[in-house]
Structure 1
Amino acid sequence: MSGDTPGIAEVPKHAPDAGPDGGGPALGGTAPVRVARRRARRILMVLSGMMVLVIGSTVAYAGYWYYRINHNIKGAPLHGAVVPPEQLASGGVIQPTPDAYGNLPINILLIGTDTRLPGKDADLGGFVDASGRADVEMLVHVSADRSNATVVSLPRDLMVPIPECVDAKGDHYGAQNVGMINSALAAGPGCQVDTVEMFTHVKIDHFMMVDFSGVVDLTNAVGGVDVCVTKAVHDPDSHLDLPAGTSQVEGTQALAFLRTREGFADGSDLYRTQAQHQYLGSLIRKMKSQATLDDPLQATHLMDIASKSLTVDDPIASVNKLLDLSNTLKKVPTENITFLTLPTVAYRPDPNRVAPDQELDDQIFSLIAHDRSVTEPSSQSGPASPTTGGPTVSQPAKPTGSGAPTSLAPSAVKDAIVVENGTTADGRSKQLAETLRADGFKNATGVGYSSSDVAITEVFYSKDQYEGAAQAVAAALQLPPGSVRPGGDGSAPVVLRVGADFASGDVFNPAAPTSPPPSALPSDAASSADVESAGDQNLCVTAAH
Structure 2
Amino acid sequence: DLLVPLPGCHNPETGAASDAMALGQLNSSLANGGPGCTVAAINELTGLQVDHFMMADFKAVTELSKAVGGVEVCVNQEVDDEYSGLKLPAGTSEIEGEQALAFLRTRHSFGSGGDEGRIRAQQAFLASLARKVKSEGTLTNIPRVYSIAEAVTQNLTVDDGLVEIPELLKLAGRLQQVDLGNVAFVTVPVVPYEVDPNRLVLDEEKADDLFAALRNDRDITKPVQEPTPSASPSTGPSAEPEPTEPVPTPTAEELGFDPALVPITVLNASGESGRGQELQEVLLGEGYTQAAVSDADDRPATQLFVGPGYEGIAPAVAELFGLAEVQIVPSATAIGLELSVGSDFTEGETVETEGIAGDLRGQTAAQVTCQS
Aligned match of 1:383:
225
Q: Secondary structure at the match of 2:22?
A: strand
Q: Distance in 2 between matches of 1:257 and 1:526?
A: 28
The one-letter code sitting in structure 2 at the alignment partner of 1:165 is C
Shift of 1:322: 2.1
Query: Take 1:365 and 1:374, find their aligned partners in 2: how far apart are those partners?
Result: 11
Equivalent-residue separation in structure 2 for 1:211 and 1:219 (angstroms) = 12
Deviation at 1:293, TM superposition (A): 2.1
Conservation of the 8 A alpha-carbon contact between 1:227 and 1:278 = yes
- TM-score with structure 2 setting the length: 0.63
Question: Are positions 1:165 and 2:21 aligned together?
Answer: no
- In structure 2, the residue matched to 1:530 is 361
Q: Equivalences for 1:20-419 in 2 at 5 Å?
A: 157-169=1-13, 170-186=15-31, 187-375=33-221, 377=223, 383=225, 398=227, 403=229
SS in 1 for 2:219: coil
Q: d(CA) in 2 for partners of 1:356 and 1:525?
A: 19
- Change in Cα spacing, 1:374 to 1:244, as seen in structure 2 (3 Å) is same
Secondary structure of the equivalent of 1:278? helix
2:183–2:364 CA contact under 8 A, matched in 1: yes
Distance 1:404 1:175 in 2: 51
Contact 2:356 2:364 in 1 (8 A): no
Q: What is the count of residue pairs matched by the alignment?
A: 248
RMSD of aligned alpha carbons: 2.2
1:376 Cα deviation (Å)?
Answer: 5.2
Q: Which secondary structure does the structure 2 equivalent of 1:302 belong to?
A: helix
Task: Report the Cα distance in structure 2 between the residues aligned to 1:181 and 1:197, rounded to whole angstroms.
Answer: 12
Q: What code does the residue aligned with 2:38 have? A: Q
Kept in 1: contact 2:123–2:362 (CA 8 A): no
Q: Percent identity?
A: 42
| Aligned AA (1:368) | L
Greater Cα shift, 168-177 or 194-203: 168-177
**Of the two, which has the highest radius of gyration?**
1
Give, as a single letter, the amino acid of the residue that structure 2 aligns with 1:162.
Answer: L
Q: Tell me, which stretches of 5 or more residues in structure 2 are unaligned?
A: 233-354
Amino acid of the residue matched to residue 268 of structure 1? G
Query: Relative to structure 1, is the Cα distance of residues 404 and 214 closer, same or farther in structure 2, using a 3 angstrom cutoff?
Result: farther
Q: What is the one-letter code of the residue matched to 2:188?
A: L
| Structure 1 pair 259–404 and aligned structure 2 pair: CA distance change class (3 A) | farther
Q: For the Cα contact (< 8 Å) 2:221–2:357, is it kept in 1?
A: no
Would you say the 8 A contact 1:231–1:245 is kept in 2? yes
Rounded Cα–Cα distance in structure 1 between residues aligned with 2:135 and 2:357: 32
Structure 1 residue 404: Cα displacement: 5.7
Instruction: Name the amino acid aligned to 1:533.
Output: T
Q: Distance in 2 between matches of 1:300 and 1:525?
A: 35
Corresponding residue for residue 67 of structure 1: none
Q: How does 1:470-509 map to 2 (within 5 A)?
A: none
Partners of 2:146 and 2:219 in 1: how far apart?
32
Query: Would the aligned equivalents of 2:149 and 2:169 in 1 still touch at CA under 8 Å?
Result: no
In the aligned structure 2, how far is the partner of 1:193 from the partner of 1:298?
30
Once residues 309 and 198 of structure 1 are traced to their aligned partners in structure 2, the CA distance between those partners, rounded to angstroms, is 28
Q: For residues 178 and 290 of structure 1, do their structure 2 counterparts lie closer, same or farther at Cα, with a shift above 3 Å needed?
A: same
In structure 1, what is the Cα distance between the partners aligned to 2:185 and 2:154?
A: 27
Q: Which residue of 2 aligns with 1:70?
A: none
Residues 39-65 of structure 1, C-alpha deviations (whole Å, 9 max, x = no match)? xxxxxxxxxxxxxxxxxxxxxxxxxxx
List per-residue Cα deviations over 1:351-405 (Å, max 9, x = no partner).
Answer: 221111110000011011001100353xxxx617xxxxxxxxxxxxx3xxx5269
SS at 2:229 equivalent:
coil
Cα contact 1:360–1:525 (8 A) shared by 2: no
Change beyond 3 A, Cα 1:171–1:329: farther
Q: 2: CA distance between counterparts of 1:525 and 1:300?
A: 35
Q: Distance in 1 between matches of 2:230 and 2:115?
A: 44
Does the 8 A contact of 2:11 with 2:17 survive in 1?
Answer: yes
TM norm structure 1: 0.43
Unaligned runs of 5+ in 1: 1-156, 385-397, 407-522
Shift of 1:534: 0.6
Residues 286 and 158 of structure 1: CA distance in aligned 2, closer, same or farther (over 3 Å): same
Q: Which deviates the most, 209-218 or 321-330?
A: 321-330
